[in-house]
Amino acid sequence: MKKALMSKKYFYVTTPIYYVNDLPHIGHAYTTIAADVLARFKRMDGFETFFLTGTDEHGSKVEQTAQKNNEQPIELANRVVQRFQNLWKKLLITHDDFIRTTEERHKKVVTHMIKTVLDQGDIYLGNYEDWYCTPCETFWTKTQLDNKGRCPECHREVQKLKEESYFFKMSKYEAPLIDYINKNPHFIEPESRRNEILSFIKEGLRDLSISRTTVTWGVPMPQTDKTNFPHIVYIWFDALLNYVSGLGYFDNKDRFQKFWPEAIHLIGKDILRHHTIYWPTFLMALGLPLPKKIFAHGWWTHEGEKMSKSKGNFIEPEALIDEYGVDPLRYFVLREIPFGSDGDFSNSALIGRINSDLADDYGNLLNRTITMTLKYQEGKVLKPSSITPIDQELVEKYTSMRISYKKNMDDIAFHKALTALWEAIRFTNKYIDSNEPWKLSKDESKKERLNDVLGFTLEAIRIASVLISPFMPQTAGKALSALGIQGFSCGTAKEKGIDALCGFWENQKEFKVQKTDPLFKKYEISL
């Protein structure tokens, strides 16, 4: 059984599960677009892929927001979940499952897991007295608070809590966790986050309070007959287990066996500690392998300022999609900054990318080539019978680009993959200019050369469109249809692999092109 599984390629990618106390914004969209691009790329590269996203619906934050809205927590959750699911449709997200922590399949796993850790003696009953940040759902010691005595992450007010609590023996796993991180240098990325976490752990891990008596909205702690109050499982022990409950720990064991621990968790840097300390120590206590990688991306500012409700400068993805289209938004957020760094969002930067990269470089390349093919060849081009040095240079450019693209996608360096791809696209535009097909068309003796120049250009566009498809699936689909290619999945189903898809003339014997509208409209930048 194990040998059969090992002969296949599996990939599992997750987003965080998003709190339902607020509506989806650009930060949620950013992580989910990144996960979708990875999932589409891996399917295209021949991997059986599972992509999980969902919502975190328990805890004090949701309970308090529901009370303010004069509704039940589940009513709040049901309402906001629909907003997330609608946005994912507009963003063309191809998740395989959407997990909600209020689902029975998830609560069943949480109850089982916490009972397992209880039974083996890694959880004990005690009293908690320290500071708690409700917006972050995080405990802090006094020395960890900022210089104003507030949460060091969100810098909002914290509460002094004193209550009976169950504690997880996190300190027991301090040395094993440090050892694991040191032996697996790519477990936490980027490297700056890995160093940050190692420094934090080496200061000493304390046992973690994993239950609350002041919250009623959540999964009840098992075996609380000896306690003075009913206990609810701490939100982070509950939430993190979505990565195994959503994969089918109980209800789809075959799938769980295939995909765990081939997991890439994409997260924002604000929840780094929960994912790189809490989660691995929980898994160690449960005897489960740790995920393959945890990658923390940065935050977006808006026009140089941190986004906040009070400033009214939150970016709503739906409005951007309505104004500029979904594909340009997907391209921009992963092209503009290195994934892992902070970045600034501005409409002028987005428009600049649309006008230059998308309309001038890629869109113009497709349109001018199709126009010439229709005009000079009646829309039909045959596979070239020979190759000149300048053609060979184009082929080599795309071969080296494909290698770079694939490596950078595997490294979750989206901007580098796109940079390499756009260098090849610009090179193709120069290839057309150098070969001057408009002049070749006027010389009957150059008819075969005209066919070859247009053929190599169309094949370059085909390959570029295949590699663009994880980022801009609608655009790639339109471009490939214009080239007469139907049925390509754009990363929605397993394909035969990047190398096989993107080798020059390995898939095409001829092109039959058809006229198409421009892929992108250009915008004026308001000053």
Q: What is the mean pLDDT of each run of 10 residues along the chain (527 residues)?
A: 58 97 90 98 98 96 92 96 97 98 98 95 88 77 83 83 89 98 98 97 95 91 76 94 97 96 96 97 98 96 71 82 97 96 92 97 98 97 95 98 98 98 98 97 96 98 98 98 95 95 94 96 83
**343-345 vs 300-302, strand pairing mode:** parallel
Residue 320 token pair: 């951007």
In the chain, where the domains are located: 8-297, 348-512
Q: How far is Cα 395 from Cα 390, in angstroms, rounded to an integer?
A: 9
Q: How far is Cα 429 from Cα 457, in angstroms, rounded to an integer?
A: 9
CATH classification number, 348-512, choose in 1.10.3720.10, 3.40.50.970, 1.10.730.10, 3.30.160.250: 1.10.730.10
Eight-state DSSP code of residue 503: S
Answer whether the bond into residue 384 is a cis peptide, omega within 30°. Answer: no
Residue 148: the pLDDT is 85
Is 106:242 a contact under the CB 8 Å cutoff? yes
Is 508:383 a contact under the CB 8 Å cutoff? yes
Q: How far is Cα 103 from Cα 62, in angstroms, rounded to an integer?
A: 16
Q: Which of 175, 162, 169, 29 is nearest to 88 (CA)?
A: 29
Give Dmax over CA atoms of the chain in angstroms: 95
Eight-state DSSP code of residue 225: T
CATH superfamily of 8-297: HUPs (3.40.50.620)
Is 1:254 a contact under the CB 8 Å cutoff? no
Based on C-alpha coordinates, what's the Rg of the chain? 26
C-alpha angle 407/410/414, rounded to 5°?
Answer: 85
DSSP letter string, 145-212: S-TTSS-TTT----EEEEEEEEEE-GGGGHHHHHHHHHH-TTSEESHHHHHHHHHHHHT-PPPEE-EE
Residue 398 token pair: 């795309």
Residue 96 token pair: 């395989």
Q: pTM higher than 0.85 for the full model?
A: yes
Residue 6: the pLDDT is 46
